[in-house]
Structure 1
């Protein structure tokens, strides 16, 4: 995917360890640089059991101002505190959501700064979350207008419903939630809603 950041930077990435940063300040000779992603506390592709497949659509990145990007990762955890998928009934759908910021430059080293961390228990306890399934979130999308706001999808296969929620990660507030009863169409609806950001 490609992410434009103001009218100067362009980021290309597939989230397999990093992305390519392109500085378009000199159009005749754009500069390219490889930027590694922040180190996650676990390997998202690792699993030991067919019941514990890797999380899908658990990472994403978006512009966070004129010269910065924000990376969002949904990380499964166990009730014992360790990271990774777990067969423990209390931890089967437990997770944390972490955001990092990176100021873009070609002149000096760039460092990811951890911005916010929200545990699933905090999210599930927020006013307005009642009735939304307590499952791993999917498809994080950083708001174009408000980088502190991240949108997610929560899918419940049990009752064939998908929820699209909007969370202010800095203030830890659930802003909006929309439900659809057709989980097979939810992916398209989610992309369309997020592209327009008109809920």
Structure 2
């Protein structure tokens, strides 16, 4: 994934290795810098023979001078590490966002912005009737970096897929649209100003 950050920086992202910042201030001699991603749960780790959750990370520009990283991390209410098959924890997760302000001159650090627990999400007005499964495919909004879009589905039910839009800072559900693979209904999407 490649993310432009303002007019000066370009980021190449590998969720396994981190990101490379390219400072284009001097176009004749651009500078490169490697930055590790923040420490977060490794979704390839799992317990009780449950498969890992897929598509749990996302990144996008957070205004003209920052990048935002989003991670969906499963957790267990019983105290076990990773995913659990107990009834209460089978679909338990938290969503965490971090922000990085790119620079070439100083040490850089990810700042944790918000943490949203699945119970908080499921209790939000407007979430009634939506699937209580793991979120996937986080996409940082182009209009507001506090807003993240996710795909959510009931386990083993491909017909019950939703796209939701959540304001992570205010902890509010902004929109929910049922996903369709029907090209005639493909105009149904979450709004974004371009």
Task: Report the TM-score, using the length of structure 1 for normalisation.
Answer: 0.88
Displacement of 1:154 in angstroms is 0.3
Displacement of 1:83 in angstroms is 4.5
Q: Identify the match of residue 89 of structure 1 among 87, 108, 117.
A: 87
In the alignment, which residue of structure 1 is the partner of 2:39? 39
Runs of 4+ in 1 over 3 A off after TM superposition: none
Superposition RMSD in Å: 2.2
Q: Does residue 1:174 correspond to 2:169, yes or no?
A: no
Separation in 1, partners of 2:3, 2:124: 31
Q: Does residue 1:24 correspond to 2:24, yes or no?
A: yes
In the alignment, which residue of structure 1 is the partner of 2:192? 197
Count of aligned pairs between the two proteins:
190
Separation in 1, partners of 2:145, 2:48: 36
Q: How does 1:1-199 map to 2 (within 5 A)?
A: 1-40=1-40, 42-50=41-49, 52-156=50-154, 157-158=156-157, 160-182=159-181, 193=189, 197=192
Per mean C-alpha deviation after superposition, the further-off stretch among 13-22 and 77-86 is 77-86
Displacement of 1:17 in angstroms is 3.5
Q: Is the 8 A contact 1:99 1:115 kept in 2?
A: yes
Q: Is the 8 A contact 2:141 2:149 kept in 1?
A: yes
Change (3 A) 1:81 1:72: farther
Q: Is the 8 A contact 1:161 1:181 kept in 2?
A: no
Separation in 2, partners of 1:22, 1:54: 33
Q: Is the 8 A contact 1:75 1:83 kept in 2?
A: no
Change (3 A) 1:60 1:109: same
Per mean C-alpha deviation after superposition, the further-off stretch among 74-83 and 26-35 is 74-83
Residue by residue over 1:151-176, the C-alpha shift from the partner in whole angstroms, topping out at 9 and shown as x without a partner, is 00002233721100000000000000
Change (3 A) 1:117 1:54: same
Q: Is the 8 A contact 2:177 2:189 kept in 1?
A: no
Unaligned runs of 5+ in 2: none
